[in-house]
Structure 1
């Protein structure tokens, strides 16, 4: 039975708590923050400072509005500062000045010495340089060249390339900030006291999905679990925030602009326990939006895992694929089809490996049936002692409901393929080529029958015809055929076919 979980179970009393901050994280390393800014405005122009943003805010994405009462807010001017005060920054601001340094040494009394800051050695990060100087200055002046600087301090008339002790700075100047800050000059036509909504795009955060598949010792009915991993490197802690995740390939330019999207129908998934809060999923524009049911705190520099799907009894099909042709990619890179059709060696190389594939139908009838975000799928199988053993992994793309997952988990140890060309004839004057291939597949398992799907690619030319074949085949696309060969334990079979190309 399928179950969607919030990841952390909270007391029922929290169900009615409304988080003032909401956060939508995209699986493309950015997010959208919606915060509440209390405003007490007078008529005319007001100076407002909001010191609780991320360190990776995109300033031109900021939207400040009053969606409740409709009071018009006009931002006359906005300044964004993301260089919070640090020891290095204060050294930089005090270059050329004399300050005190507290010196503590073993077996000596503590003392204070005076030193003049000749050079701070402060390294400005890329984003700080962009914000302070602008992109053109940053690109032309290479602000990051400061990265190799060391501090230079003059003490008693001598220069030293290290701090003599812990710097003791004078009081902070008015323009020094402790956290990333937005400074606004806001105009309003009349006095107003309100909670405005602040919305902006920020970097420094992302999420990804991971899936674990567990198979029993025998059989292919699996347990399927999905996790999301949230990564917050934004420079801000989001306390009791409503978290939402967007899955899909959203177009995101370097200078992003804010867009609004429409919502379609809401699809909620049942839980095993009706009293347990559930993750919900919405079709959102051309993407999918996943909402956590309860507020959650996401600390800065924190990685958080949340289980968002758990289901059992999912049917999977194990496939064995022998795709024996091996193409020298370096030799044929950029080759035209006209050159390939005359190359006798094309497609003559082969490999002996038989792939192990898993197919899983993402449908409600198969205990799934929800849009699955792209991510890594790990496979485990239980051994005869009840322990789980890792047996392969692959990556899926965004997968809609009712589509089929097809995953490669490795090469079969006891299944072998052998492919060789036994005949080649060509007549360039009459525009044709004939090729004959012999393919052997062997099942070296001691007590298990299998079916191997032998895939052949007819890439020499677009017009082809199978003239002779030892086995029936399926035409899977315009230039591919497939033989399905059942093999008993210890059995070997040989397939031969001749293909005729004409142009």
Structure 2
């Protein structure tokens, strides 16, 4: 076949496996893989190629244990077989080149580039430079010893006797990720709350019938070396899966994070995206709110709820996207907005910004600024609010004070939280405009 190498693929050492796999996926492109299998070994020292690993493995994190065996040496082979890699490994060895005009040229390969091939012709010792585009195929005498079709761990193992040895291996890897999407339906009082985990596998390896765990939280890591993926190995005890009609996650606190364990085994093909339900559907009490931060361009439409058991929630929420739908009068659901949330523990407030309130208009104006003294300045800030809808609306106007600033006069009552954020709750009737002011004083 044109422009392809003619090679004989040798079978690598076959590993008889009775495999079990566990997979823990963290945030930020980190996963822990643990496998249990058997190796049939001879007595003494021997070489084993193990290729049932991901292409994003961190070789420095590999731990292999087994009674009666010892890993004397480990090499990670990631320079995978391909046309250019094979030819680079075949320098100073004999090759046979067939050109498009069926000429046969035999010699010692001296260089191989994108445009040309150089050989010392057998029998004449002449240097022949052959155009790569004129080459039909190249025949190699044999396959290079260090030929790998996929990422491989090459072990030099010492066994105490000829036998089958149970082996357990764990390593850290990139290429697996998970995130959460919360699909909700809003009826002005409650959110019908559904949560889905989306898992992406681009690790270069398929996982069949693995026990799956997800960890929500930000783990500290040190980035260095090849692949830039190093960190501390975290070991855990695997649990036994129980078959059920639909998979579900069991959640628990784990160190300073939250751990979600799937109650049955699951499979992931390489380059596959899989979705699993995180929590059973819930109805969560929530409320709507309009917010206008001073000097902002628009009024935000917000849905809020407290993440408590009394409100129908009360579960740790991993970071993700909350999508909000609402039922129209024709019975169809319409999408009304989405927002992202960070990891949210129980008893914390969740705020969902669904977008801009179309019929609510707001603006901020610095009406006057007065220098009271060398160290004291006052500013009169004017707020204009309009309600162009046909319903009464309440807009919460927020204003962030600096540490040396306070409100000295205001047309409406307000509250101040522990972060010095001032909130005015302003009621506006339909088709009305309210113009009002407050005065702040800064002392330096």
TM-score past 0.5 threshold: yes
Deviation of 1:416 after TM superposition, in Å, equals 0.8
What pairs up with 1:37-76 in 2 under 5 angstroms?
37-41=37-41, 44-66=44-66, 71=67, 73-76=69-72
Q: Could you say which residue in structure 1 is the equivalent of 2:150?
A: 179
How many matched pairs? 408
2:392 aligned with 1:449, yes or no?
yes
2:231 aligned with 1:288, yes or no?
no
199, 208, 215: which is aligned to 1:239? Answer: 208
Instruction: Name stretches of at least 5 consecutive residues in structure 1 with no aligned partner.
Output: 1-17, 104-109, 122-149, 267-273, 326-350
2:197 aligned with 1:253, yes or no?
no
Deviation of 1:93 after TM superposition, in Å, equals 2.4
Q: Could you say which residue in structure 1 is the equivalent of 2:404?
A: 462
Higher RCO structure (Cα 8 Å, ≥6 apart): 1
Deviation of 1:170 after TM superposition, in Å, equals 4.2
Give the Cα separation in 2 of the matches to 1:306 and 1:113. 59
Q: Could you say which residue in structure 1 is the equivalent of 2:435?
A: 494
Q: Is contact 1:19–1:242 with CA below 8 Å preserved after alignment?
A: no
Point out the more displaced range, 238-247 or 381-390.
381-390
Q: Could you say which residue in structure 1 is the equivalent of 2:30?
A: 30
Relative to structure 1, is the Cα distance of residues 37 and 82 closer, same or farther in structure 2, using a 3 angstrom cutoff? farther
198, 202, 212: which is aligned to 1:229? Answer: 198
2:117 aligned with 1:153, yes or no?
yes
Relative to structure 1, is the Cα distance of residues 426 and 221 closer, same or farther in structure 2, using a 3 angstrom cutoff? same
Deviation of 1:179 after TM superposition, in Å, equals 2.8
Give the Cα separation in 1 of the matches to 2:369 and 2:432. 29
Deviation of 1:316 after TM superposition, in Å, equals 2.2
Deviation of 1:445 after TM superposition, in Å, equals 0.6
Q: Is contact 2:172–2:233 with CA below 8 Å preserved after alignment?
A: no
Q: Could you say which residue in structure 2 is the equivalent of 1:210?
A: 181
Partner SS, residue 471 of structure 1:
coil
Give the Cα separation in 1 of the matches to 2:270 and 2:98. 32
Q: Is contact 1:43–1:188 with CA below 8 Å preserved after alignment?
A: yes
Deviation of 1:257 after TM superposition, in Å, equals 4.2
Q: Is contact 2:97–2:135 with CA below 8 Å preserved after alignment?
A: no
What pairs up with 1:65-144 in 2 under 5 angstroms?
65-66=65-66, 71=67, 73-95=69-91, 97-101=94-98, 114=105, 119-121=111-113
Give the Cα separation in 2 of the matches to 1:159 and 1:244. 56
Relative to structure 1, is the Cα distance of residues 365 and 232 closer, same or farther in structure 2, using a 3 angstrom cutoff? same
| TM-score normalised by the chain length of structure 1 | 0.73
Give the Cα separation in 2 of the matches to 1:115 and 1:209. 60
Deviation of 1:302 after TM superposition, in Å, equals 2.0
Q: Is contact 1:43–1:191 with CA below 8 Å preserved after alignment?
A: yes
Partner SS, residue 417 of structure 2:
strand
Instruction: Name stretches of at least 5 consecutive residues in structure 2 with no aligned partner.
Output: 1-17, 122-127, 225-229
Deviation of 1:423 after TM superposition, in Å, equals 3.0
What pairs up with 1:299-448 in 2 under 5 angstroms?
299-325=269-295, 351-429=296-374, 431-446=375-390, 448=391
Q: Is contact 1:115–1:153 with CA below 8 Å preserved after alignment?
A: no
Q: Is contact 1:210–1:228 with CA below 8 Å preserved after alignment?
A: yes
Relative to structure 1, is the Cα distance of residues 63 and 450 closer, same or farther in structure 2, using a 3 angstrom cutoff? same
Considering fraction of residues, name the structure with more strand.
2
Partner SS, residue 306 of structure 1:
strand
| TM-score normalised by the chain length of structure 2 | 0.82
Relative to structure 1, is the Cα distance of residues 73 and 286 closer, same or farther in structure 2, using a 3 angstrom cutoff? farther
Give the aligned CA root-mean-square deviation in angstroms. Answer: 3.0
Partner SS, residue 366 of structure 1:
coil
